């Protein structure tokens, strides 16, 4: 079993009328099957309302299946006694950097998670040191979080998750509110965690360029996984992606257009380098 | 007719240890009907700058002129100015508050003193321009999807029928198609009604695709001011400022370095495609 495994996962949201009776349901996840191997870098794409965030919240037991099941590191999320273990093994980072920082000093914020877990003080400090180092924020450890840039705040949020020693980290559009530099910083930090620490990454994003290095991409639409494969496989299906309100990176689109116009280049080009090499042989 | 900034300086908390110069001697003129983009990293002064355009912030020194008149002159009606220069903040959907979409959009025009009928007429027009269909008019704003909420909020500003529309990252958090739809809508509004549009964005691709002129803010100063293809040719300097150029710019420069004679100033997929096809054709001959 992989680190995240879902079988026939269904999630219904209920709408209640004023007297508390169920008025209607909305199926946000519809028979989702997932099997993510430990250590992979996974990207999830999908338009607004396609079910990405609902899926993310199932991975660390913030939501529970209406039908089907999801296991995190072998633990079923509906087993109540495992909930805290699950939330510690699978950490979440959300979109808005200002909504997830609680400490008044960077290092205190990062130490909040392990402190709540009852880790001895000396170990907390060691975890704080390692986590800040891992995201490149050691220099700011004594700073006040509200004076940091968006990208720096997100890295602090990631360090806070890291300090809980998770096996898996789920990032729900972590770069949506950041400028280009902030985006680069955060992605670099995430990639390093994946490569150096071997942490499984699930990255939800609307920026297609951010997923070209992923091991696997899932595309969601109306609560279903409608496409999956390597970035190359997924991004070579330009028209299909567009039908799901998505896009491809500019370089992939350019290569696709050139190919349509009769230029002999391979399908599914993902990087500038690949395109340049294909054109300048 | 234009917005003109003359030597604008803005200092936060002057005279204290927190003193910070957010804008330093900024000069610019935005003629009527221009589609202008503003880029800059977080903290570069973009948001401070746009709040000067409609008099939400008063410059520490310097002048803001709207159609030639000093908006900080004693008897100038800034209330009226704010209905002429509409500002759509980041995540404007957080400001929706009425029980129904149509009501929410009517709020602005009603405050202008228009009758209920006139206000509704304007609201319907604004919602149409923002691309929100009639079936949502009676919905609660909180039942809408992210993209729909954003449209409802933009309609709230459009209902004021502004001469100038300023949008602070109107597509943040939207999916790619939602992004394109909203920007296409704004572009068509610009071309149909001829209003001035000022777009603040972190997406270099969007700036390259839509605007005729762009301004780059860096450390409170205007670092570049020109057409996108010219400004993006300074991509190395932009990177030093924490910014970037569209992916296309990098592709074209890389191709140029490898000896393919392409137009390195191309910034959009269409321009790049045309230029590459041309270069390949020349190569074949």
| Partner B contacted by A182 (CB < 8 A) | yes
pLDDT band at B42 (very low <50, low <70, confident <90, very high): confident
Tell whether A264 is within 8 A of chain B (Cβ).
no
Task: Identify the closest residue of chain A to B279 by CA–CA distance.
Answer: A279
And the tokens for B98? 């009425």
Q: What is the structure's pLDDT at A180?
A: 86
The complex scores an ipTM of 0.85
Helical packing angle, A150-162 and A180-196, nearest 10°: 20
- Tokens encoding B112: 């202008």
Average pLDDT, chain B: 93
Q: Does the pLDDT at position A217 exceed 90?
A: yes
Q: CB-based contacts of B188: which residues, under 8 Å, 6+ apart?
A: none
- Secondary structure of residue A204 in the 3-state scheme: strand
Residues near A118 by Cβ (< 8 Å), separated by ≥ 6? none
Q: Does B256 touch chain A (CB under 8 A)?
A: no
Place of tokens 């004023």: A18
Q: Which long-range contacts (CB under 8 A, 24 or more apart) does B55-59 make?
A: B55/B81, B55/B82, B55/B85, B56/B82, B56/B87, B57/B10, B59/B8, B59/B9, B59/B10, B59/B23
Half-sphere exposure of A206 (CA within 13 A, CB side): 23
Selection from A135, A133, A201 nearest residue A167 by Cα: A201
Cα separation, A42 vs A218, whole angstroms = 8
Give the percent of chain B with pLDDT over 70: 100
CA-based nearest residue to A97, from A215, A195, A177 = A177
**Other beta carbons within 10 Å of B94:** 10
Give the per-residue SS3 of B128-150: HHHCCCHHHCCCCHHHCCHHHHH
Cβ–Cβ < 8 Å for B204, B245 = yes
Q: Which of A115, A187, A122 is nearest to A158 (CA)?
A: A187
Across residues A52-59, what is the average pLDDT?
94
Q: CA neighbours within 13 Å on the CB side: how many for A133?
A: 8
HEC assignment per residue over B234-254: HHHHHHHCCCCCCHHHHHHHH
| Alpha carbon separation from B239 to A112, A181, A225 (Å, rounded) | 35, 8, 37
- Give the Cβ contact number of residue A86 at 10 Å: 21
* pLDDT tens by residue, A119-166: 999 999 999 999 999 888 999 999 998 888 888 899 999 999 999 999
Q: What is the pLDDT of residue A234?
A: 95
Cα distances (angstroms) measured from residue B94 to each of A146, B90, B98, B150, B265: 21, 9, 12, 9, 39
Q: What is the mean pLDDT of residues B258-269?
A: 94
> In chain B, where does DSSP find H-type helix?
46-53, 78-84, 101-111, 116-130, 146-158, 176-193, 204-210, 228-231, 235-240, 247-257, 269-284
Whether pLDDT at A69 is above 90: yes
Q: Taking CB atoms and an 8 Å limit, are B269 and A173 in contact across chains?
A: no
pLDDT of A96 reads: 84
Residue A106 to chain B, least CA–CA distance (Å): 19
Q: For residues B126 and B159, is the Cβ–Cβ distance under 8 A?
A: yes
- A253: its two tokens: 């689109």
Residue B68: strand, helix, or coil: coil
CB B156 within 8 A of CB B126: yes
What are the pLDDT digits (tens) for A17-46? Answer: 888 888 888 999 999 999 999 999 999 999
Residue A4 CA, chain-centre distance (Å), reads 13
**pLDDT band, residue A198 (cuts 50/70/90):** very high
CA–CA min distance B144, chain A (Å): 10
Any CB–CB contact under 8 A between B272 and chain A? yes
A97 DSSP assignment: G
Per-residue confidence (pLDDT) for residue A57, from 0 to 100: 94
* pLDDT tens track for A180-193: 888 888 999 999 98
Which of A149, A173, A250 lies closest to B248 in CB terms? Answer: A250
Concatenate the DSSP letters of all residues of A141-173 into one string.
TTS-GGGS-HHHHHHHHHHHHHTT--SEEEEES
* A interface test, pick of B179, B247, B258, B259 with most A CB neighbours within 10 Å: B247
Q: In sequence order, which residues have a C-beta less than 8 Å from that of residue A211 and are 6 or more positions away?
A: A43, A45, A203, A205, A217, A231
Residues of chain A with C-beta less than 8 angstroms from the C-beta of B41 = 149, 179-182
Q: Do A276 and B43 count as a contact with CB atoms less than 8 A apart?
A: no
Could you give the CA distance from residue A108 to residue A66 in angstroms, rounded to a whole number?
A: 37
Residue A126 three-state SS: helix
pLDDT band at B43 (very low <50, low <70, confident <90, very high): confident
Residue B1 has pLDDT above 80, yes or no: no
Chain B residues whose CB is inside 8 A of the A258 CB are 273, 276-277
Given the structure tokens 């999908």, which residue do they identify?
Answer: A46
Phi, psi (5° rounding) for residue B266? -65, 140
Kindly write down the DSSP assignment for every residue of B181-216, as one continuous string: HHHHHHHHHHHHH--EEEEE-S-HHHHHHH-SEEEE
Superfamily in which the A4-248 domain is placed by CATH: P-loop containing nucleotide triphosphate hydrolases (3.40.50.300)
State chain A's mean pLDDT as an integer: 92
Task: Give alpha helix (H) positions in A199-280.
Answer: 231-235, 238-243, 250-260, 272-279
Which of B146, B176, B273 faces A257 most closely, judged by CB atoms?
A: B273
Smallest Cβ–Cβ distance between A246 and the set B176, B205, B255 belongs to: B176
Tokens linked to A27? 């199926």
Sign of CA dihedral B145, B147, B149, B151: negative
Query: Burial level of A175, CB count in 10 A (0-12/13-18/19+)?
Result: buried
Q: What is the pLDDT of residue A15?
A: 84
- B124: tokens are 């319907």
């Amino acid at each position: 079993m992989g680190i995240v495994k879902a079988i026939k996962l269904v999630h219904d949201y209920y709408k209640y009328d004023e007297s508390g009776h169920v008025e209607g349901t909305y199926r946000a996840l519809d028979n989702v099957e997932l099997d993510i191997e430990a250590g992979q870098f996974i990207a999830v794409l999908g338009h607004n309302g396609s079910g990405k965030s609902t899926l993310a919240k199932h991975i660390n037991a913030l939501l529970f299946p209406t039908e089907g099941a999801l296991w995190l590191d072998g633990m079923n999320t509906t087993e109540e006694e495992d909930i805290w273990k699950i939330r510690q093994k699978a950490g979440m980072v959300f979109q808005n950097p200002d909504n997830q920082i609680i400490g008044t000093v960077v290092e205190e914020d990062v130490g909040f998670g392990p402190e709540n877990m009852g880790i001895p003080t000396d170990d907390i400090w060691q975890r704080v040191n390692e986590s800040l180092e891992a995201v490149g924020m050691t220099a700011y450890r004594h700073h006040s979080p509200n004076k940091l840039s968006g990208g720096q705040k997100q890295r602090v949020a990631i360090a806070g998750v890291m300090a809980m020693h998770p096996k898996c980290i789920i990032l729900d559009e972590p770069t949506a509110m950041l400028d280009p530099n902030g985006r680069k910083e955060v992605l670099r930090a995430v990639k390093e965690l994946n490569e150096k620490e071997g942490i499984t990454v699930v990255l939800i994003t609307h920026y297609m360029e951010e997923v070209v290095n992923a091991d696997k991409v899932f595309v969601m639409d109306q609560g279903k996984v409608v496409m999956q494969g390597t970035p190359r496989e997924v991004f070579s299906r330009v028209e299909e992606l567009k039908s799901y309100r998505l896009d491809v990176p500019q370089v992939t689109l350019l290569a696709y257009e050139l190919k349509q116009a009769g230029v002999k280049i391979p399908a599914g080009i993902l990087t500038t380098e690949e395109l340049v090499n294909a054109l300048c042989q | 007719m234009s917005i003109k900034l003359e030597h604008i300086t803005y200092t936060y908390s002057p005279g204290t240890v927190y003193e910070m110069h957010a804008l330093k001697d900024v000069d610019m003129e935005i003629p009527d009907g221009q589609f202008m983009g503003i880029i800059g990293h977080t903290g570069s002064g973009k948001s401070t700058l746009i709040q000067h355009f409609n008099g939400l912030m008063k410059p520490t020194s310097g002048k803001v002129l709207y159609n030639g008149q000093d908006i900080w002159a004693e008897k100038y009606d800034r209330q009226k100015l704010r209905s002429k220069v509409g500002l759509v903040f980041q995540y404007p959907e957080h400001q929706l508050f009425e029980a129904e979409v149509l009501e929410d959009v009517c709020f602005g025009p009603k405050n202008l003193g228009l009758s209920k009928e006139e206000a509704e007429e304007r609201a319907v027009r604004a919602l149409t321009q923002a691309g929100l269909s009639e079936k949502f008019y009676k919905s609660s704003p909180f039942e809408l999807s992210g993209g729909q909420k954003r449209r409802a909020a933009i309609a709230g500003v459009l209902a004021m029928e502004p001469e100038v529309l300023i949008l602070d990252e109107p597509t943040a958090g939207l999916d790619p198609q939602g992004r394109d739809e909203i920007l296409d809508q704004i572009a068509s509004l610009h071309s149909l009604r001829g209003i001035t549009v000022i777009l603040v964005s972190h997406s270099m691709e969007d700036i390259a695709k839509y605007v005729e002129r762009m301004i780059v803010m860096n450390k409170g100063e205007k670092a570049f001011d020109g057409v996108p293809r010219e400004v993006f040719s300074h991509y190395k300097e932009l990177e030093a400022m924490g910014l970037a150029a569209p992916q296309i710019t990098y592709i074209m420069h890389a191709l140029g370095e490898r000896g393919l004679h392409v137009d390195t100033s191309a910034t959009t997929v269409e321009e790049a495609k045309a230029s590459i096809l041309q270069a390949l054709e020349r190569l074949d001959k």
